[in-house]
């Protein structure tokens, strides 16, 4: 009996199995996530930011991906990786994806420097929801536009329709069978916190004429950080490469004046370039602790005034942010008067000076401006910026890239600030100090804004 059944099964395999294979195998091949016809594509992707500040987690908490690619209209479960254009994702859509999908790949526009105002605002609002929202548990990556990536976007948009949007059960089944089946793979380990990071803060000093320890000191401060939803794509041409460029140029101008005894004023100038500016100005905090709480003498212990630069090339308006309005006869008050005078007297400036008073709010997670770090330590300080409010999202966006018009604006602002500072420390109110060979070579500054600020500073330091 058993032998007869074996013979019948063998006969069945010989007679009917080949026909079933002809039907079933093509279906399995079609619906397989690995397409045997199309080749794999590799694209560089940039992970969303991740950090902890004061013990509070921010940003993306996961890194590896191995999921099926779906469009904005085609995903439905945590087994799907949503691949979509940045201009198609709103903050509310992002919140839905990060709570229900498995991963997200955001494709940036093809021409980032040719976006309309509406498109820029759309991306900046999306970034703000990522940066200031709650932590994101799924992997989120950004990808630069590429023709092959556009083809994939079109394929998954046309190939996947959810069951709810299908016209019938047959249509839903057909869409599932005929889909292109792209698989998104980011082969990396889980991100681990780095415990050995050291924040680099650099400072230099120009010593005035007379007894160094008895001379008043003015400190010029700026941070070299940039920020955005994708750190590797955040170049920070305005925030804060422009601040670095202004500090370096002022250092160059005044080093020429301090190089000879006849033109050396009775002021010490200290230049400070801090790190971790986008992380609540931790670089300034640590530097101040080392300077003021250490056993050795501090170069900023009794500073007459501290001037910080942050985002100084966005417009013709220059705002002087203070935590406490300076007295008229103090260094801060006299410097502000010179700023007003110079901005009105220089024919090429067209710069408008405004004062903004805002008290320090220690209840907030982060301080508003860098000068507040110095004001907390009872040092008179101010921040110069072309932004009226610290909440402006232009300070934390990947769209902060160099533009030609920024160079002209930065040139004018540096001209005004350096001239006002010189008039203040030399006690001259009528003549133009920086003229002739001491003018600023503006043609080199576009390149300065076009690369990350820290690289600029290190290159300049190595060549001087």
- DSSP for 38-94, please give it: SPP----EEEPPEEEETTEEEEB----EEEEEE-TTT--STTEEEEEEGGG--HHHH
The pLDDT assigned to 16 comes to 53
Put residue 427 in one of left, alpha, beta given phi > 0 → left and psi -120 to 50 → alpha. left
Distance CA 244, CA 227 (A): 15
pLDDT above 70 as % of the chain: 79
Residue 32 confidence class, pLDDT cut points 50, 70, 90: low
The pLDDT assigned to 391 comes to 94
Q: Is residue 161 scored above 80 in pLDDT?
A: no
Distance CA 239, CA 223 (A): 9
- What is the set of domains in the chain, with CATH numbers? 39-165+174-186 (no CATH), 201-462 (3.40.630.10)
Token pair recorded at residue 123? 């991306």
pLDDT per position as a tens digit, 55-107: 899 999 999 999 999 999 999 999 999 999 999 999 999 999 999 999 999 99
Residue 397 confidence class, pLDDT cut points 50, 70, 90: very high
Residue 457 confidence class, pLDDT cut points 50, 70, 90: very low
Q: How far is CA 369 from CA 126, 271, 381, 411, in A?
A: 23, 18, 10, 23
Q: Is residue 226 scored above 90 in pLDDT?
A: yes
The pLDDT assigned to 179 comes to 53
Residue carrying the six token digits 């859509």:
93
Residue 404 confidence class, pLDDT cut points 50, 70, 90: confident
Mean pLDDT of 30-52: 76
The pLDDT assigned to 372 comes to 98
The pLDDT assigned to 231 comes to 95
The pLDDT assigned to 144 comes to 97
The pLDDT assigned to 174 comes to 53
Distance CA 442, CA 422 (A): 19
Q: What is the mean pLDDT of the chain?
A: 86
pLDDT above 90 as % of the chain: 69
Task: Work out the burial of residue 452: count CB atoms within 10 Å of its CB; fewer than 13 is exposed, 13-18 middle, 19 or more buried.
Answer: middle
Q: Which helix (H) or strand (E) holds 257?
A: helix 241-258
Say which range, 132-141, 279-288, 448-457, has the weakest mean pLDDT. Answer: 448-457
The pLDDT assigned to 464 comes to 40
Instruction: Output DSSP code: residue 250.
Output: H
Q: 178: Cβ–Cβ under 8 A, 6 or more apart, which residues? A: 30, 159
Selected residue with higher pLDDT from 22 and 286: 286
Mean pLDDT of 392-401: 95
Answer for the pair 171, 21: CB distance below 8 angstroms, yes or no.
Answer: no
The pLDDT assigned to 192 comes to 86
Distance CA 352, CA 46 (A): 39
| Backbone angles phi and psi of 13, in degrees to 5 | -65, -40
What pTM does this model have?
A: 0.84
pLDDT per position as a tens digit, 308-341: 999 999 999 999 999 999 999 999 999 999 999 9
């Amino acid at each position: 009996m058993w032998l007869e059944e074996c013979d019948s099964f063998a006969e069945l395999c010989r007679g009917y199995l080949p026909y079933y294979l002809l039907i079933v195998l093509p279906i399995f091949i079609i619906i397989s996530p690995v397409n045997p016809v199309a080749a794999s594509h590799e694209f560089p992707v940039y992970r969303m930011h991740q950090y902890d500040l004061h013990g509070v987690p921010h940003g993306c908490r996961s890194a590896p991906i191995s999921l099926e690619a779906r469009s904005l209209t085609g995903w439905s479960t945590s087994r799907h990786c949503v691949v979509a254009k940045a201009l198609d994702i709103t903050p509310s859509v992002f919140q839905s994806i990060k709570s229900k999908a498995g991963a997200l790949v955001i494709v940036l526009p093809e021409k980032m420097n040719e976006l309309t105002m509406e498109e820029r605002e759309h991306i900046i609002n999306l970034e703000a929801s990522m940066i200031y929202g709650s932590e994101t548990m799924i992997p989120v990556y950004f990808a630069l536009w590429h023709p092959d990536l556009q083809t994939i976007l079109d394929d998954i948009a046309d190939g996947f329709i959810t069951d709810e949007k299908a016209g019938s059960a047959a249509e839903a089944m057909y869409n599932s069978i005929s889909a292109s089946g792209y698989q998104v793979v980011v082969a990396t380990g889980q991100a681990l916190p780095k415990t050995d990071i050291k924040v680099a803060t650099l400072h230099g000093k120009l010593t005035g004429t007379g007894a160094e320890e008895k001379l008043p000191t003015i400190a010029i401060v700026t941070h070299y950080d940039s920020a955005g939803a994708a750190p590797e794509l955040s170049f920070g041409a305005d925030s804060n490469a422009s601040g670095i460029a202004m500090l370096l140029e002022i250092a160059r101008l005044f080093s020429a004046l301090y190089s000879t005894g006849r033109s050396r004023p009775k002021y010490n100038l200290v230049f400070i370039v801090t790190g971790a500016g986008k992380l609540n100005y931790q670089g300034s905090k640590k530097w101040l602790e080392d300077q003021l709480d250490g056993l050795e003498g501090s170069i900023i212990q009794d500073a007459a005034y501290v001037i910080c630069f942050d985002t100084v090339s966005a417009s013709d308006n220059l705002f002087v942010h203070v935590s406490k309005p300076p007295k008229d006869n103090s260094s801060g008050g006299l410097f502000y008067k010179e700023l007003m005078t110079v901005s009105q007297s220089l024919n090429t400036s067209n710069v408008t000076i405004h004062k903004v008073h805002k008290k320090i709010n220690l209840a907030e997670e982060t301080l508003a401006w860098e000068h507040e770090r110095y004001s907390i330590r009872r040092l008179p300080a101010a921040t110069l910026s072309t932004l009226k409010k610290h909440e402006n999202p232009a300070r934390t966006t990947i769209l902060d890239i160099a533009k030609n018009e920024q160079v002209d604006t930065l040139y004018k602002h540096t001209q005004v600030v350096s001239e006002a500072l010189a008039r203040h420390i030399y006690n001259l109110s009528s003549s133009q100090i920086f003229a002739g060979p001491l003018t600023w070579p503006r043609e080199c500054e576009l390149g300065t804004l076009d690369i990350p600020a820290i690289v600029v500073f290190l290159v300049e330091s190595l060549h001087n």
